Amino acid sequence: MKTNAAGMKLIKDSEGLRLTAYLDMVGVPTIGWGCTVGVTKADVTNKRTITVQQAEDMLQKELAGFESGVLKYVKVPLNENEFAALVSFSYNLGLGSLQQSTLLRLLNQNNRADAAEEFVKWDHAGADHHEVQALKTRRLAERALFLTPIDDGGINPPELPDLDIPSDQDINVTLEDIENEVLKK
């Protein structure tokens, strides 16, 4: 199973495209559409850049691992939208978070309604676990996609909320502050 168009849009809109390496809000070296595999602190320091095509290639490669992981951990049949929502969730938080989550436990008990409500509980970040509006918005969009049924004619396009992702300037701690702190370590 592959991530459908609605899932790809959700991931790309949530992550945003940055062609220069940066540290994300919790200090992880990142580039492209939130790609982290093979991205180092040195890439951030040296301001590594990539092309849009390289960003797309990196996204597809990383997504394959998350798609495989979702299929490995979920023990009940999924429709395309449920699968895409879980891939987006895992892409952002990691497969370990999915594997240890109440969301997965409830889903594997075939309790989809309660599992869907678990998405919104994952809207905190950082050492102090503060609520992040961008994460709250993403989790609501993932929940909406997860709950969007598939009809016999194909995918019903979900009505996802517009993802108003804050710019670097809107975040209380600037990315430069995070980069400086992480690069000291």
Angstrom distances, CA of residue 120 to CA of 17, 73, 131, 139, 144: 24, 20, 11, 5, 10
Give the residue extent of every domain in the chain: 5-150
CATH architecture of residue range(s) 5-150: Orthogonal Bundle (1.10)
Amino acid 133: pLDDT: 83
Task: Give CA–CA dist 3/14, Å, rounded.
Answer: 15
Angstrom distances, CA of residue 154 to CA of 3, 7, 74, 78, 150: 14, 15, 22, 14, 6
pLDDT: which is higher, 100 or 160: 100
- Alpha-carbon torsion 28, 29, 32, 37, what sign? negative
Cβ atoms within 10 Å of 98's Cβ, excluding its own? 22
* 9 closest CA partner among 114, 105, 148: 148
What's the pLDDT tens digit per position in 100-112? 999 999 999 999 9
Amino acid 173: pLDDT: 44
Conformation bin of residue 94: beta by default, left when phi > 0, alpha when psi is -120 to 50: left
HEC secondary structure over 107-120: HHCCCHHHHHHHHH
Per-residue pLDDT averaged across 147-157, rounded? 66
- Residues forming the active site: 15
Whether 44 and 22 have beta carbons less than 8 Å apart is answered as yes
Q: What's the gap between Cα 25 and its chain centre?
A: 13
In percent, how much of the chain has pLDDT > 90?
68
Q: What angle do CA 3, 167, 43 make, to 5 degrees?
A: 70
- Alpha-carbon torsion 178, 181, 183, 185, what sign? negative
Whether 91 and 10 have beta carbons less than 8 Å apart is answered as no
Given a cut of 70, is residue 167 above it in pLDDT? no
Confidence of residue 38 (pLDDT cuts 50, 70, 90): very high
Amino acid 103: pLDDT: 96
